[in-house]
Structure 1
Amino acid sequence: MRNFTIQHIDHIVLRVKDMERSLAFYTSVLGCELRKRRDDLGMLHLGTGVSMIDLVDVEGPLGRPGGPAADKQRRNVDHFCLRIEPFDEAAILAHLASNGVEAEKAQVRYGAQGQGPSIYCLDPDGNQIELKGPAQEP
């Protein structure tokens, strides 16, 4: 039996060719707010209400492993993140394993509400999903 419920999408991560052009689009055109800049990772965190859109430079440390920029044959979304409650790592991992889903142990990662625990797993099509618990700090 599942022991958590999805609260909302925490964030999505988009791989982009031109960070400044994308930043201008998401902030000026869509009204997102630049919350955090991670130049060491080639990443920008943009606020979108209670959620976030993360932009990752395809030529940066996080973007390079994903290969060339997206086109009609290549995907552009790295993963999506679902905010869940409660976050009981052992119970979540046991639930996933009982359904044949491999997952890594929880790590503290930055999300829309701050640093908090999360677990990565894959859906049947190989799409990466992050299951994120509550923030430990804002």
Structure 2
Amino acid sequence: MISHIDHIVLTVTDIERSVAFYQRVLHMEPVTFAAGRRALRFGMQKINLQTLGQETRNRAGVGSGDLCLITQWKLEDVIAHLQAKQVEIVEGPVTKSGAMGAITSVYFNDPDLNLIEVSVYSQ
């Protein structure tokens, strides 16, 4: 029935600060849509951003996101990039279970303390 995720939504305190972080740290493309809404595009997906209370149909909270993003980079290069961008790694590299098998991951937080996991599939 379901083939893939089109987008997810993160609740943040400052949308432009989040746009800048994801663009700088994860090389995501900032986009504007639907009368000024902001999002970050990568591959064939995007992360929409909202502030607390902006969307009344959900019970989102700031910092409640927990994302796993797959990279084609070597994990050593990801770690070096995060260090160069002064992003603190809170865990990893560690082996975890991804949707399609074993992954090796590093974890860090975005400015609102959403947990971001960047992973590579084991060869």
Larger-Rg structure? 1
After TM superposition, the score normalised by the length of structure 1 is: 0.42
Q: When the two structures are superposed, what TM-score results if normalisation uses the length of structure 2?
A: 0.46
